[in-house]
Amino acid sequence: MGDMLKTGLEWLASKRTACMASTITYRRGLTSKSISATVGRPDKEAVDEMNIRVSSTTIDFLFLNSDFATTFTKPERGDVIEYEGRTYEVMDFAGQGHWRWSGRPGITIRVHTKQVS
């Protein structure tokens, strides 16, 4: 029997993409790709390296690694996402990084962004 948890998480991620996602354009330099992503608007609060509490409302985009990895390897700071006529830049948030796995590694990428236009 295979890894039932991995199989279940992959199925759930595919359903989230099929039922809750919108098309975004992910851009790095002159290279771009249209992919399906789920939009999240988490309120974030963190303590930075100077022990100052930082809070912000950011936009996170969740997408399948299998859709992303065919063009890019991992998200990079400064990459751009275009969504609904607005432009978002991939950014670090209070030392927490600019992306992370959402759930089991290798399935869903969560990218942190700020709106720049």
Among positive and negative, which fits the CA dihedral 101, 54, 24, 78? negative
* CATH number, domain 4-115: 2.40.10
Structure-token match 């996402």, residue found: 81
In sequence order, which residues have a C-beta less than 8 Å from that of residue 19 and are 6 or more positions away? Answer: none
pLDDT tens profile 64-115:
899 899 899 999 999 999 999 999 999 987 677 899 998 878 888 999 998 8
Q: Which residue has the higher pLDDT, 25 or 8?
A: 25
Phi/psi zone of residue 84: left (φ > 0), alpha (ψ -120 to 50 degrees), beta? left
Model pLDDT, residue 23: 92
β pairing state of 22-28 and 80-83: antiparallel
Model pLDDT, residue 56: 61
pLDDT tens profile 19-74:
777 899 999 999 999 999 989 876 566 667 788 776 666 789 999 899 899 899 99
Question: 8 by DSSP, 3-state: which?
Answer: helix
Q: Where are the chain's structural domains? A: 4-115
Cα distances (angstroms) measured from residue 71 to each of 13, 21, 52, 74, 102: 20, 19, 38, 10, 20
